[in-house]
Amino acid sequence: MTAIEKFDTASVDPSRRLHFWNELVAEIFDGTYVNAADPAFSAEMWRWSVGDLAMIRPRSQASMVGRDPRRTGGEERVVLHLQHRGASRHSQRGRQAELQAGDFSLVCANEPYTLDLRTGHELLVVEFPRAAIASRLPGIDDRLSRRISGRSPGGRIFHDFLLSLWQQGDQSRADPDWQQGVSNVFYDLMALAVRGSDLAPEARAGGALGDRVLALIDARLGDPALRTATIADELGISARTVQNLFAAMGTTPSFHIQERRLARAAERLGAHPEIGITALAFDLGFNDSAYFTRCFRQKYGASPSAWRGHH
């Protein structure tokens, strides 16, 4: 496994950070640019690839990202933006997609588009040949720059699969047949997630309200007081409404909160192996690190320390 490339603005003179970042993103994805109010722009990004999938994982302060490809002709490509954290608005062909955590969108890489990225966002971005997905998703043009829910079973599995690719590191030198196999799994899971998006739990259980509840939970995982009552108070709805939303999803608010905290913990342990277990537990709203360790072991079959050593 080759280490994933990492880029950040921390070591760049503050007055040159935005310029540096624009040069970097234009090199990675042709025609990409970033506008931000503060020239002392703070951002970091990881880059890796497998097969015909070119992947990045950027996080930064609020910004407006656009792409106006300079190259014309050639292979048509598609870009997937999965909202891992925060929220954003994606625009192309006169359409707009409002994404919350877990959602994703598809855009044509050969045409201009913009992303309005809000404070505290993080994305998983994959560029790939259009031909590879067109056969699996007839009518793909109708899906471009539309919000595709990540709350369906297929959407959640697809999200987890992308995170697993991150944990594996760069695979560009791995066996070509293996790489192509991974690419095929990516396309198949994405097609399932897209087709299942109209059946996502929040579509059946409150629509936009379900989105707001799930986004609030993802944003407040570090709050140890997060529970049904606090969700209800924050959104101005009844506790019974919150409970009913989760009942329609086949779960409970407390179980969902714990599952999201543990999933976030596993991700951080993979991305930041130097983080302390106790500090991680408290950062994610656990009041007792021993309890956190027991819950983590029950879900993943290994202690946080052991998981960190193998991911």
Q: What is the pLDDT of residue 260?
A: 87
Q: How far apart are CA 101 and CA 86, in angstroms?
A: 6
- Confidence category of residue 121, pLDDT binned at 50, 70, 90: confident
Q: What is the pLDDT of residue 10?
A: 93
Query: What's the average model confidence in pLDDT over 96-111?
Result: 88
Whether 13 and 150 map to the same domain: the answer is yes
* Residue whose C-alpha is closest to residue 4's, from 270, 306, 310: 270
Whether 286 and 156 map to the same domain: the answer is no
Whether 112 and 207 map to the same domain: the answer is no
pLDDT, tens digit (0-9, with 9 covering 90-100), for 130-187? 999 988 888 888 888 888 888 778 888 898 898 888 777 777 788 889 999 999 999 9
Q: How far apart are CA 174 and CA 170, in angstroms?
A: 9
Q: Residue type for 62, please?
A: A
pLDDT, tens digit (0-9, with 9 covering 90-100), for 193-206? 888 775 544 444 45
Query: What's the average model confidence in pLDDT over 208-222?
Result: 84
Whether 184 and 195 map to the same domain: the answer is yes
Whether 15 and 156 map to the same domain: the answer is yes
Whether 76 and 215 map to the same domain: the answer is no
Cβ atoms 116, 162 nearer than 8 A: no
In 11-165, at which residue ranges do the beta strands (DSSP E only) sit?
32-35, 43-50, 53-60, 63-67, 77-85, 88-92, 95-99, 104-108, 113-117, 121-129
| Number of domains composing the chain | 2
pLDDT-above-90 percentage for the chain: 41
Q: What is the pLDDT of residue 108?
A: 93
Query: What's the average model confidence in pLDDT over 219-234?
Result: 91
Q: How far apart are CA 239 and CA 231, in angstroms?
A: 8
Q: Which of 66-70, 118-122, 210-214 has the lowest mean pLDDT?
A: 118-122
Whether 151 and 104 map to the same domain: the answer is yes
Q: How far apart are CA 212 and CA 115, in angstroms?
A: 20
Whether 125 and 265 map to the same domain: the answer is no
pLDDT, tens digit (0-9, with 9 covering 90-100), for 35-48? 988 888 899 999 99
pLDDT at 223 over 70: yes
pLDDT at 309 over 70: no
Whether 261 and 133 map to the same domain: the answer is no
Q: What is the pLDDT of residue 1?
A: 45
Predicted TM-score (pTM) of this structure: 0.65
Q: Is 62 left (phi over 0), alpha (psi -120 to 50) or beta?
A: beta
Q: Which of 170, 199, 228 is the last residue of a domain?
A: 199
Question: Which structural domain, as residue segments, surrounds residue 291?
Answer: 201-310
Whether 193 and 219 map to the same domain: the answer is no
Query: What's the average model confidence in pLDDT over 55-72?
Result: 86
How far is CA 113 from each of CA 95, 109, 271, rounded to the nearest angstrom? 10, 8, 29
Which domain CATH number covers 263?
1.10.10.60
Q: What is the pLDDT of residue 72?
A: 58
pLDDT, tens digit (0-9, with 9 covering 90-100), for 262-307? 888 887 887 777 889 999 999 999 999 999 999 998 887 888 988 8
pLDDT at 239 over 50: yes
* Residue whose C-alpha is closest to residue 127's, from 90, 160, 92, 81: 81
Whether 255 and 179 map to the same domain: the answer is no
